[in-house]
Structure formats: structure tokens, C-alpha cells
Structure 1
């Protein structure tokens, strides 16, 4: 499945800054960063369950927000892009 993941983590405190780094690391383990807080993820259902559990453990649900958009199959193969070229194949190998 193809997912688009965005997040907004409150960073006014040192704890918030740690949560931001942790959310980024979790997302990097599952997908490719395409903007500062936007990731493209290609995964199976079982991976999605683990991914969401890891994200839930990384945030403060009263202060932080994560949005996960489930896209149609292979939607990440057909993206209109403007500006700096996309250097990553969303279905290519994920280097951790």
C-alpha cells in the first residue's frame, strides 16, 4: 500500500524536540522523507500496523498530530512534481 505521512510535533520544550526527532526516525525506518515532515511510505498491512504503533509511542497525543493518508495502489508512481527533482524511487530500497 502507498501512504503519505505528515506530522506536526510541538517543539517549544526539550521533550517536544526529542519527540520530533523520534517521530522522524520512526518515519525514516518505514519510508522516504520528501519534505521536512512529509514521508512517502510503501508497505504491507502488517508493516503499517507496526509503523502506527511506533508513531503512537513516540508522540504526545495531546500536543502532536500525525496524519496518514492511504493512497490508491501505486499512487506514488504517478506524482506531479514541481521544483527540485525527486531523487528517490518510493519503491526502491530503503536504507536505514
Structure 2
């Protein structure tokens, strides 16, 4: 399945920077970094469950947010850039 993951980490708390850093590293293991707190990529159900499990160790349910948009494949997802276009996912041959 193809997913787009977006997160919002509250960094005003003492542990916020650590949560942000770990969230970024975990997402980068499974997905392509697109922009700030946005990742996308093809994952299996097992990989998605691992990603979720790893993130749950750090995400604070009362302060942070993670949203995952799922689709069957990237061909079902239309991407449109309205300003600076940096599509890092198209660098593959």
C-alpha cells in the first residue's frame, strides 16, 4: 500500500526535541522524506505495523499527532505542486 504520513510534534515540552528527532529517524527508515514533517512511500502491512509500533514508543498521545493517509498504490494518488517543486521520490530510475 502507498501511504502519506504527516506528524506534528509539540517541541515546547522538555522532551519534545527528542520525540521529534526519534520520530523523524523512524519515519525515514520506512518512507521517503518529502517536506518538513511529511513522508510518503510504499509499505507492506507488516512494515506499517512496525512503523506504528516504533512511533508509539515516542509519540505522546496528549501532545503529538500522527496522521496516515492510505491508498492501494501511488498511481491512485494525484500530486500537484503549487509552489516550489521538490519531488524527491522521482529520483529513482
Aligned residues: CA RMSD: 2.3
| Mapped pair 1:35 → 2:32 | no
User: Tell me, what secondary structure is at the counterpart of 2:89?
Assistant: coil
Point out where structure 2 has 5 or more consecutive residues left out of the alignment: none
What's the counterpart of residue 83 of structure 2?
83
CA distance in 2, matches of 1:74, 1:48: 16
Deviation string, structure 1 residues 7-27 (Cα, Å, up to 9, x no partner): 111100230111011101111
**Residues paired across the two proteins, number:** 93
Matches within 5 A, 1:52-67: 52-67=52-67
When normalised by structure 2's length, the TM-score is: 0.84
What's the counterpart of residue 51 of structure 1?
51
